[in-house]
Chain A
Amino acid sequence: MAESILETEGLTKEFLGFVAVGDVSLKVRRGSIHGLIGPNGAGKTTCFNLLTKFLPPSRGSIRFDGRDITKMKPAEVARLGLVRSFQISAVFPHLTVLENVRVALQRARGGSFDFWRSDAVLRGYDARARELLEDVGLSQYAHLPAGQLPYGRKRALEIATTLALDPVMMLLDEPTAGMTAEDVDRIVALVKRVAQGRTVLMVEHNLKVVEGLCDTITVLTRGKVLAEGPYAEVSRNPQVIAAYLGTDPTISGGAGHG
Chain B
Amino acid sequence: MAAGHASVAALPALHETPGLLGLSALGFNRAQSIAFLALLAALIVGPFFLYPVFLMKLLCFALFACAFNLLIGYVGLLSFGHAMFFGMGGYVTAHAAKVWGFTPELAILSGGAIGAALGVVAGWIAIRRQGIYFAMITLALAQMIFFVCLQAPFTGGEDGIQRVPRGHLFGIIDLSRDMSFYWVVAAVFLAGFLLINRIVHSPFGQVLKAIRENEPRAISLGYRTDDYKLVAFTLSATLAGIAGGTKALVFGIATLTDVYWAMSGEVVLMTLVGGLGTVFGPAMGAAVIVTMQNYLAEFGAWVTVIQGVIFVACVLAFRAGVIGELGRVLKVRL
Contact = CB atoms under 8 A, between A and B. Distances in A.
A18 interface: no
A151 interface: no
B202 interface: yes
Contact of A119 (B27, B217, B227): B27
A178 interface: no
A243 to B, nearest CB: 31
Interface string B197-226: 011011111110110011011111111110
Contact of A83 (B203, B205, B220): B220
A34 interface: no
Contacts of A54: 216, 219-220
Given A115-B202, A116-B202, A118-B27, A75 B224 contact: yes
Interface string A173-213: 00000000000000000000000000000000000000000
Interface string B23-42: 00101000000000000000
A190 B74 CA distance: 34
Interface residues of B, number: 34
Nearest to A102: B206
Contacts of A113: 204, 227-228, 231
Given A75-B222, A107-B223, A92 B213 contact: yes
B177 interface: no
Contact of B8 (A52, A94, A103): A94
Nearest to B225: A75
A90 B8 CA distance: 18
B216 A92 contact: no
Given A114-B203, A115-B198, A78 B13 contact: no
Nearest to B207: A112
Interface string B11-26: 0010100000000010
A78 B205 CA distance: 21
In the complex, which of the residues A84, A115, A122 has the most CB atoms of chain B within 10 Å of its own CB atom?
A115
Nearest to A164: B221
A93 B9 CA distance: 9
Contact of B209 (A78, A91, A92, A109): A92
Contacts of B227: 111, 113
A93 B203 contact: no
B77 interface: no
B217 A115 contact: no
A103 B207 contact: yes
B214 A92 contact: yes
Nearest to A93: B213
B217 A86 contact: yes
A106 interface: yes
Interface string A127-146: 00000000000000001110
B235 interface: yes
Contacts of B216: 54, 86, 90
Contact of A115 (B214, B219, B225, B235): B235
Nearest to A100: B210
Contact of A99 (B25, B206, B219): B206
A112 B204 contact: yes
A118 B209 contact: no
A73 B223 CA distance: 11
24 contacts: A52-B220, A75-B224, A78-B222, A83-B221, A83-B222, A86-B217, A92-B213, A92-B214, A94-B8, A94-B209, A106-B207, A109-B203, A112-B207, A113-B227, A115-B205, A116-B202, A117-B203, A119-B27, A119-B202, A122-B203, A143-B15, A147-B9, A148-B13, A161-B221
Interface of B: 5, 8-9, 13, 15, 25, 27, 198-199, 201-207, 209-210, 213-214, 216-225, 227-228, 231, 235
